[in-house]
Structure 1
Amino acid sequence: MAVRKFLLLLLLGVFVFLCLSQVSSNGYEEEGMKEMEYDEKMMRGANRRLMQYIDCGGQCRRRCGAHSRPNRCIRACGTCCRRCRCVPPGTSGNREMCGTCYTSMTTHGNRTKCP
């Protein structure tokens, strides 16, 4: 048992060492990496500004307030809200107000996903 643990730790150590040596040999200098990280942060910030902010939790609790299975409804609504950035008004219906993203999403059983 102890031998297996030792071999597993040794194998893990070798794997980590190889991964770290691969990263350091990519040819990126320290400054180049900093510039790449800065560019990625700027792009993520721009994408956030372009996407409309919506309080998915609050909107879904409102939407699923009268549902017979509210937890299940809130979970599905949250997924749809994060993907489509929209929750229809009211407690039922009005799905077309969120566009094709919200209305076309289906489950594995080919039933509508979004409440």
Structure 2
Amino acid sequence: MVLKGSAMMIYIGIMLLLLFIPNSLTKSIVYSPAPQPQPPHDSSMYGATPHSLKPQECAPKCTNRCSKTAFKKPCMFFCQKCCATCLCVPPGTYGNKQYCPCYNTWKTKRGGPKCP
């Protein structure tokens, strides 16, 4: 019976000791955030943000932008004009103007979009 009582007292003593260990000792482990996966480099998005192109890079981007239209000559004219000012061309052949805000804000005299 004495052995059981002393074992119980040792157990209670260890538990009380663990409760009063300073937090600085228990927080010595520092966890670094896990590395986030990077999206793959998408070459089609290059030049889609404002001022990310050089003026000489406008022609190939506009050729791609105007590739599916029936009105290639006016599309190329206005696309190159917009690209020279904005230094960006939205990705794809239509839409996606949110990537190049200058395309949305530049309007014709009638209020329509100037850039294709």
User: Structure 2 length normalisation: TM-score?
Assistant: 0.52
Q: Separation in 1 of the partners of 2:52 and 2:78?
A: 21
Partner of 1:84: 86
Alignment of 1:1-115 (within 5 A): 52-54=53-55, 55-99=57-101, 101-115=102-116
Structure 1, residues 41-65: CA drift from partner, whole Å, max 9, x if none?
xxxxxxxxx9742511111011000
Runs of 4+ in 1 over 4 A off after TM superposition: none
Give 5+ residue unaligned stretches, structure 1: 1-49
Q: Which residue of 1 aligns with 2:12?
A: none
Q: Which amino acid aligns with 1:92?
A: Y
Cα distance, 1:80 vs structure 2:
0.6
Gaps of 5+ in 2: 1-50
> What's the offset of the Cα at 1:108?
1.6
Structure number with the bigger relative contact order (C-alpha 8 A, sep ≥ 6) is 2
RMSD: 1.8
Amino acid at match of 2:63: R
For the residues of structure 2 that align with 1:57 and 1:109, how far apart are their CA atoms? 27
CA distance in 1 between partners of 2:54 and 2:80 (Å)? 14
Structure showing greater Rg: 2
Report the count of equivalent residues.
65
TM-score (ref. length: structure 1): 0.52
Q: Post-superposition shift, 1:109?
A: 1.7
Identity percentage of aligned residues: 37
Alignment correspondent of 1:19 = none
